[in-house]
Amino acid sequence: TVLTQSPGTLSLSPGDRATLSCRASQSLSSSYLAWYQQKPGQAPRLLIYGTSSRATGIPDRFSGSGSGTDFTLTIARLEPEDFAVYYCQQRGGSFGGGTKVEMK
């Protein structure tokens, strides 16, 4: 299964809402879709698993949704520490190409 993320880059300001897309080449069980955040020089951090369940310690401004082939990560109000690269992953295997959320 190939995961395609869009857009490649999102230019937003603190306080904005961010909507990131992840499209799968074939239908996925909702149990199999996860989202990660990665900052420069750091390992990825799990945000969302099972499409919509927040990992331990993740603020509730992060939410995930979707089904079938279309999945979305939403950041309700961007904080300065949220500017980073975000990846989706299917079933602990292949990753999407990433979306960079940069400060406008």
Partner 1 sequence: EAQLVEFGGGLVHPGGSLRLSCAASGFTFSSDWMNWARQAPGKGLEWVASINQDGSARYYADSVKGRFTISRDNAKNSLYLQMNSLRAEDTAVYYCARSRNNANDYWGQGTLVTVSP
Per-residue interface string for the shown chain with partner 1, residues 3-32, x marking contact by CB under 8 A: ----------------------------xx
Residues of this chain, 78-97, that bind partner 1 according to CB under 8 A: 85, 87, 89, 91-97
Out of 58, 72, 74, 98, the residue judged to bind partner 1 by CB under 8 A:
98
Out of 16, 21, 23, 44, the residue judged to bind partner 1 by CB under 8 A:
44
Q: How far apart are CA 42 and CA 23, in angstroms?
A: 25
| Residue 68: CB atoms within 10 Å | 12
74 versus 97: smaller Cβ distance to partner 1: 97
Out of 20, 36, 37, 78, the residue judged to bind partner 1 by CB under 8 A:
36
* Contact call for residue 34 and partner 1 (CB under 8 A): yes
Q: How far apart are CA 27 and CA 43, in angstroms?
A: 28
The per-residue b/e assignment along 73-88, b for 16 or more CB within 10 angstroms, e otherwise, is bebeebeeebbbbbbb
Per-residue tokens: 36: 């990660």
